[in-house]
Structure formats: structure tokens, C-alpha cells
Structure 1
Amino acid sequence: MNTFTMVRPEHLNHHGYLFGGSMLKWVDEYAWLVAARDFPGCTLVTRGMDRIVFSKQVKNGSILRFSILPWKQGNTSVTYAVEVHADSPGAMQEELVFSTHVTFVRIDEDGHKTALPKRETYRSMETS
């Protein structure tokens, strides 16, 4: 799945570029939205992000494209590969500016891990 956002002044750090915390918030939120759609009715929480790589500075006014694809599924967790590309103002093409993997775990009403539905009901794998 792809989704987009634009970098605005309130997203900038003291050097005038995108604040890393803003990027991490978007990545967590957008990846969760994909997971929630892939596993409707399941309570999913963020378990973690692996190696977080900020590849390039991102300028104000850049349009960010978040590419979020299923990576792997375990019994109680699912991991998505996330790449973020920036289309900077005046640029001729997008550049990869960020990448990571985000893992979510399904929990029950008591906060304990519980099994995810089987892969055949995993919508992203069917449509990708």
C-alpha cells in the first residue's frame, strides 16, 4: 500500500529539515493502518521497529510516499517493510529517505499475545 503526506513547517527540526520523530510517528501510524485492514477485528499493537535508517535530509514542502508491504507473518505477529521516498520541491524524481521493518503483535482483551488468522485470510498477500 502507498500513502502520502507533505512535510510542513511544524514537522521541522531546529536545522530546518524533517524531525525524525515526525517520521517515526507517521511510519508507526501508517503501518498500523495497513495491518488493521489486513487483520480486521484483531487488536494489534506495535512490538518494535528494526534497524531505522534515515538516508537523506527531507526539506520543507517535500511530498513523502510511504510504501508499506507485508514482510513476514508469525503465529502472533506480523512484520511490514516500510520505505519512504521524498519528492522534494523542484526535484526531478523521488529519493529513498527512510526504511525500516515494523512488527505488530495481536493481543487479547487481557493484553496477552494471541494467534493471528491464517495466511489465506491475509488480504495484503492476496492482493500484492
Structure 2
Amino acid sequence: MKHYKLVLPEHMNHQQSLFGGNLLSWIDEVAYMTANLQFPNHRFVTVALDNVEFKHRIDCGEIICFCATLEKQGSTSLTYFISVSGTRKNAEMILFETRITFVSVDEQGLKKSIC
């Protein structure tokens, strides 16, 4: 599933590039929305985010694309591969990639089966 975000001045750090915490927050949000659309009527909580490595600078005014792909489904968990890309000089470039894992929980916060 694809989602897009416009990088605005309030998203910048002191080096005038995207603040990494904003990107991580957006990844969590995009993956959460994807999980809820694909598996409605479940409560998901984030339990892991793998390999946080910023590959390229992201500038103000860029439109970035988040692509979320379900990589693994367990009995109570989902793992998504998230790829973040942007367009630079008419070529798409991967800016960031990671995996994020959610667990389905009930009202008391206990693990709940997805199936």
C-alpha cells in the first residue's frame, strides 16, 4: 500500500534536512494505517522497528512515498517492510527502508489472534 507525505519547514532539523524522528513517526503511522485497513477490527501495537539507517538526506518541499508491504503474518503479529522513496533528478531513489512489527491485542492489552 502506498502513502505520500509532503515535507514542510516544521519537519526540518537544525541542518535544514528532515528530522529523523518525524520520518520514524510517519513510518509507524503509515504501517499502522496499512495494518488496520488490511486487518480491520483489530487493535495493533508497535513492538519493533528494525535497522534505523538514514540513507539519504530529505529536503524541505520533497514529496516522499511510503510503500508498505506485508512481509510476515504470525498468529498474533504482522511484520511490514517499509520503503521510503523520493524523486531526485527524474529518478526514484530509496531514502530509507526498515521493517516494523505489530502485535494484535485485546482490550486488556493481551495478545489476540489475528485469524
TM bin, normalised by shorter chain, reads over 0.9
CA deviation profile, 1:27-76 (whole Å, cap 9, x unmatched): 00010000001111011111110112211001111110001000001111
The residue aligned with 2:77 is 77
Structure 2 Cα separation of the partners of residues 94 and 53 of structure 1:
18
Unmatched 5+ residue regions in structure 2? none
Secondary structure of the corresponding residue to residue 54 of structure 1: coil
In structure 1, which of residues 88, 102, 105 is the aligned counterpart of residue 103 of structure 2?
Answer: 105
TM-score (norm 2): 0.96
4+ residue runs over 2 A deviation: none
Identical columns (%): 38
Paired residues, what number?
A: 115
TM-score (norm 1): 0.87
The residue aligned with 1:58 is 58
Structure with greater strand share of residues:
2
Unmatched 5+ residue regions in structure 1? 118-128
2:45 pairs with 1:45: yes
- Aligned residue type for 1:10: E
Structure with greater helix share of residues:
1
